[in-house]
Each structure stands twice: as C-alpha cells, then as structure tokens.
Amino acid sequence: MTAVAPPDVVPTPKPSVQKRRRASAVLWAAAIAVTLPGAAPILHLLWTVVRPGGFDAGGISAARLLQLFGSTTLLVASVTATALVVGTTTAWLTSRSDISGRGVWSTLVSLPLVIPSYVGALAMLGSSGNGGLVSLGLSAIGLPRLGVFSGFWAAWGALSLWNFSYVHLVTTPALRRMDPSLEEAARGLGATRWRTLRDVVLPQLRPALLSSSLLVALYVISDFGAVSLLRYETFTRAIYTQFRGRLDITPALFLSGVLVAGALVLVLVEQRNRGKASLAARRPARPPERVPLLGVRRVAAYGFLTTVVIGALVLPIITLGWWAMRGLSLGNAFEPVWAEATRSTGVALAAAAATVVAALPLAILTVRHPSRQARALESVSWSTYSLPHLAVGLGFLILSIRFVPVLYQTVLLLIVAYMAMFLPQALSATQAGLRQVGPNLEEASRSLGVGALATLHRVTVPLVWKSLLAGGGLVFLTVMKELPATLLLRPTGFETLAVRVWSASSELFYTQASVAALVLIAISAVPLYLLVTRDR
C-alpha cells in the first residue's frame, strides 16, 4: 500500500520521456490553492517563534528541552527499529514462507491499524494494574500482579504494536514484486539463505523499509494520546501540557514552532536521499519460490504471528469489550454514541471526499507536468503531513482566531485542517493511478477536440477512480482516528468518537470510553479491510 508512504518510489524517468509539458495557469492556481491551507499554519507557527517576543519558552529551561528531545528520540528510535523488525518478519512470513493461511495471517496482521494508539494505550492500562484483566488472569494462576503499565516501556510497546502494520503493508508488495532470479543467482553462487537475505533481498527492500520507517517515526513524533495516557514525556506531550497548564498560548506555540522546524529538517533530509531509490513496478514473470519452514522454525513462525495478533488485535478488543460489559452489568451509565458515530463518519467521509478532489490538481501537476516548482509544491504538502497534528491544530487555531474568526470552531475549518494534514495520502494514491494511465490518452482526447476539463471527466477519472477510492479510504481511516487537532478545532458540542474516547478516559469513565472505542474500531474496520484485501 504505497499510498501511505512518502514518494521515494518514483521511478526516475528516462531522458527521452522527461519532456517538459507546460501546465496551464488554471492548473497551477488550483494546485497552489490546495497546498495553501497546509502551508499557512506552518508559516504562522514559525513566524510566531521568530518575531520579537515570540522566542518565549515560558520558563522551560534549555536542560528540560534537551531532556524532552532526548526522550522523544529514544522513543522514536526504539519504536521504529521494533516496527521494522516485526513488520518485515511478518511480511516475509506471509509472502515468502510456506506456512499455511498466509492470506489470513497477512490480513490479521494489518488489522491493528484500526486501533488508534491511544485506544491501544487505554486497553493496555486496562489490562494492567490492580483490577486489570492481565492482573486478574495472572492472580488466577497464582502469579504476582503487574504494576500499571506506564513510562518508556509501555509507550514503546504500545506504539510498536499499533504502528508495525505500516511496515508490513508497505514491505509485503515489495517482497512480492521482487525478481527471484537475483536470489536464485546468489544461491547458485553458493550463498546461504541468510546471506541471500542480507545481501540480495534486504537491499532491494531498502526503499520500502526507508519509507515505512519514516512513516512510523513521524507517527511516533506526532503521537500525543498514547504517551499522555502512559505518562511518558515527549516533545509533543509537552506541547499539550503547556497548552493545558498555562494561561498564555505562547509557550505551546514556541514548542510547536521548534518541533515544526525540526520536522522540516527531517523531511528535507529525507527528500534529498529519496531520489536515489527506485522501485520495480512490474510483477516478475515468475512468483518467488516459497521458503519451506520445518520443525522448530515452523512452530516459531506460527508462535510469532499468534503472539503479534493477540497482542495487537485480540487483547485490546477483549479488554475493551470486557470493560464495556463489566460496566454495563454494574449499571454504569453511559450514553449511546450514535451521535458521535454519525459525526465521526460524516466528517470523515466529507474530509475524504474533499481531500481526494483537492489532491487531483496537484497530482496532475506533478505527474503530467513535472518540474522543480511542482516538486517544491508537493514538498509543502508532505511537510504538513509530517508535522504532529497537535502542532498543526494549534497553528490552525491561532490562524483562524486572528484572521478568519468566522471560521473558528466550525466543521468547515475542521475539514480544511484534515485536508491540509492528510493531502499526501490521497496524493500518493492518485499519483500512482495517473502514472499507470499514460499521458498519451489525455493527449489523444485533446487532439480529438475535447477540452482539458472534459478530458479529465471522460478519460482520466474513469481510468483512475480505483486509486482515488484507495486514497479516500485511507484518509477516511486516518480522520476517524484523529484526536489532537479535533480536540482543538472542533465546534463546541461537536464530539466525535475519538474525542469521546479521550474525554471519557481522562475522566475515568472506562465503560463509556470502551463503548466509544469499540464503535470506532468497528467503523474503521470496513475501509481498512477493503483496502487491505484489494490487491489480492
């Protein structure tokens, strides 16, 4: 599912194909218009930091900043490494080994994406501590109770469990498309399986591994719900803490600005290295042979997959279900979440549609009329995508209050914010679709007397609608789960499922929280399942 990854997978065009096709002014205007909402909050944040009086850390010492930076880096590095190892292993097991039920395992291992990390953290809390499910289970068999899951290890566990699926989803198609003749050549020259893996397979996987690890790293930086619940201080959590515990918004904006600047550096570095990667776009003539796993290895493989699925999927859902049922049986009041479910679904659908439409001009510009300027524009939208949603939300908050108060606390602003943050998801998918449909078809239509917009309608869209749908599905999923920006920007009274989970759990109404969480998972499962099984 390369739709999730930053575009390092563009095949470098051959010189004869790399013709400059000038784009119309209308197309440029449209592309700039859809990129603007993403650039605005970033620029505003950076400006509030550099203007006189803005460089106000509100009393936060440089030592503390360094400490926050260190704790964040530690978490990012450890989670990314873990996700890479786990995700690559599951990808390899489900596409290259000969264990049975590969397709089912692959789906199961991808499904944890429906569980937002804060819901997973919630379930983790619920299963630990006195009275938690795991503790009850342990004490039932006579083992000592676990303490409450919190701190670094809990955060590491939670974020690894609910992010490794990205690595799996990006690496699986890369593994499937690899040409087996390279590996066969290596084996023929006497290399062992391990050496083949190391010297032949992994280098070919490099672009997939790079893009998915960047994705995971960005999610970890951005995460605010899980680290708050599990009480691990990261930079992003500190931003929220500043927002909660200060009268003046300046320290929160300052920290956001610092984080934005840092993230932009990361994005620039990634873009510079991106151009060297390449991806084989065609399926090889023969599918790669399956590696037989025998004896201990086979058992270990099943065991590994089972553990992962239980930890990432089964346990959290059971915990939530158990909470919900226990609460109901105790007669704990809870409000039905139909209103929240409707709002979440409605706004997610609207945002998905808006984002897909918005991505179209930018996709056409970058695929049909590539140029340095077009790439720069694309980078802007990827930059916004890379930033923590909390920071972007704060940017939109301040921007709307100061300049467009009529939009403040409206559903429209919320949708614009979602669109700005998640444009690249729709963009990637649309670009992939456009690349498969050559420019010749559009030129043929033009030569037959059909104008640009009509060509879009009669030729382009009918041929790429599947990619548009994939991009829209991804945006839908992400918006359903989104928490920090929604908290900041929502109209008063506009509670979504995500907000309901969060507010209920902070007030310790776990019954309410679990009910909302289960509904959120159920609704998200539909598009995820469709997306995951689409290629099979």
Report the site for another protein in 328-367 (rule: CB under 8 A).
Answer: 333, 339-340, 342-343, 345-350, 352-353
Residues 165 and 109: beta-carbon distance below 8 Å: yes
Work out how close the CB of 367 gets to another protein at its nearest, in angstroms, rounded to a whole number: 15
Of the candidate residues 444, 457, 526, 535, the single one contacting another protein (CB under 8 A)? 444
Q: Is 291 helix (H, G, I), strand (E, B) or coil?
A: strand
Of the candidate residues 102, 206, 435, 446, the single one contacting another protein (CB under 8 A)? 446
Angle at CA of residue 442, ends 440 and 444, nearest 5°: 65
Residue 6's contacts (CB-CB under 8 Å, 6 or more residues apart) are 211, 214, 215, 270, 274, 382, 424, 428
303 lines the binding site for another protein (CB under 8 A): no
Residues 165 and 87: beta-carbon distance below 8 Å: yes
244 lines the binding site for another protein (CB under 8 A): yes
Distance, CA of 402 to CA of 175 (rounded, Å): 50
Residues 341 and 519: beta-carbon distance below 8 Å: yes
Part of the chain binding another protein (CB under 8 A), chosen from 99-107, 112-120, 284-292, 404-412? 404-412
Q: Whose Cβ is closer to another protein: residue 39's or residue 463's?
A: 463
Work out how close the CB of 88 gets to another protein at its nearest, in angstroms, rounded to a whole number: 33
301 lines the binding site for another protein (CB under 8 A): no
Q: Whose Cβ is closer to another protein: residue 101's or residue 451's?
A: 451
Work out how close the CB of 26 gets to another protein at its nearest, in angstroms, rounded to a whole number: 12
Distance, CA of 167 to CA of 181 (rounded, Å): 25
Part of the chain binding another protein (CB under 8 A), chosen from 40-48, 63-71, 199-207, 381-389? 63-71
449 lines the binding site for another protein (CB under 8 A): yes
13 lines the binding site for another protein (CB under 8 A): no
Of the candidate residues 193, 195, 246, 534, the single one contacting another protein (CB under 8 A)? 246
58 lines the binding site for another protein (CB under 8 A): yes
For 423-470, where are the E strands, in sequence order? none
Work out how close the CB of 78 gets to another protein at its nearest, in angstroms, rounded to a whole number: 21
Distance, CA of 391 to CA of 511 (rounded, Å): 30
Residue 372's contacts (CB-CB under 8 Å, 6 or more residues apart) are none
168-227 residues near another protein, rule: CB under 8 A: none
Distance, CA of 346 to CA of 502 (rounded, Å): 19
Q: At what angle do helices 133-140 and 315-329 cross, to 10 degrees?
A: 90
Q: Which of 75, 72, 258, 240 is nearest to 160 (CA)?
A: 75
Of the candidate residues 152, 302, 322, 494, the single one contacting another protein (CB under 8 A)? 494
Residue 5's contacts (CB-CB under 8 Å, 6 or more residues apart) are 170, 208, 211, 212, 214, 215, 428
Distance, CA of 210 to CA of 27 (rounded, Å): 32
Work out how close the CB of 134 gets to another protein at its nearest, in angstroms, rounded to a whole number: 14
456-485 residues near another protein, rule: CB under 8 A: 458-459, 462-463, 465, 469
Of the candidate residues 248, 268, 281, 287, the single one contacting another protein (CB under 8 A)? 248
Distance, CA of 301 to CA of 173 (rounded, Å): 20
The torsion of the CA quartet 181, 203, 299, 290, rounded to 10 degrees, works out to: -10
64 lines the binding site for another protein (CB under 8 A): yes
103-142 residues near another protein, rule: CB under 8 A: 129-131
Each residue 405-424 as x (binds another protein by CB under 8 A) or -, in order, gives: xx-xxxx---x---------
Distance, CA of 487 to CA of 384 (rounded, Å): 18
DSSP assignment of 164-217 = HHHHHHHHHHHHHTS-HHHHHHHHHTT--HHHHIIIIIHHHHHHHHHHHHHHHH
Work out how close the CB of 528 gets to another protein at its nearest, in angstroms, rounded to a whole number: 17
70 lines the binding site for another protein (CB under 8 A): no
295 lines the binding site for another protein (CB under 8 A): no
Q: Which residue has the tokens 């340095």?
A: 372
Of the candidate residues 90, 242, 431, 486, the single one contacting another protein (CB under 8 A)? 242
Supply 506's token pair.
């902070």
Identity (one letter) of the amino acid at 393?
Answer: G
Work out how close the CB of 39 gets to another protein at its nearest, in angstroms, rounded to a whole number: 21
Work out how close the CB of 302 gets to another protein at its nearest, in angstroms, rounded to a whole number: 35
Of the candidate residues 73, 78, 107, 241, the single one contacting another protein (CB under 8 A)? 241
Q: Whose Cβ is closer to another protein: residue 266's or residue 353's?
A: 353
Q: If binding means CB under 8 A, how many residues of this protein chain bind another protein?
A: 84
Q: Whose Cβ is closer to another protein: residue 372's or residue 536's?
A: 372
Residue 421 bridge partners (DSSP): none
Distance, CA of 39 to CA of 190 (rounded, Å): 54
Work out how close the CB of 325 gets to another protein at its nearest, in angstroms, rounded to a whole number: 18
Q: Whose Cβ is closer to another protein: residue 101's or residue 491's?
A: 491
452 lines the binding site for another protein (CB under 8 A): yes
First and final C-alpha spacing in the chain = 12
Part of the chain binding another protein (CB under 8 A), chosen from 2-10, 263-271, 280-288, 446-454? 446-454
Of the candidate residues 238, 317, 426, 518, the single one contacting another protein (CB under 8 A)? 238
Each residue 137-166 as x (binds another protein by CB under 8 A) or -, in order, gives: ----------xx------------------
Work out how close the CB of 525 gets to another protein at its nearest, in angstroms, rounded to a whole number: 18
506 lines the binding site for another protein (CB under 8 A): yes
Backbone phi, psi, residue 252, to 5°: -65, -45
Supply 440's token pair.
């010749």
Of the candidate residues 264, 328, 450, 456, the single one contacting another protein (CB under 8 A)? 450
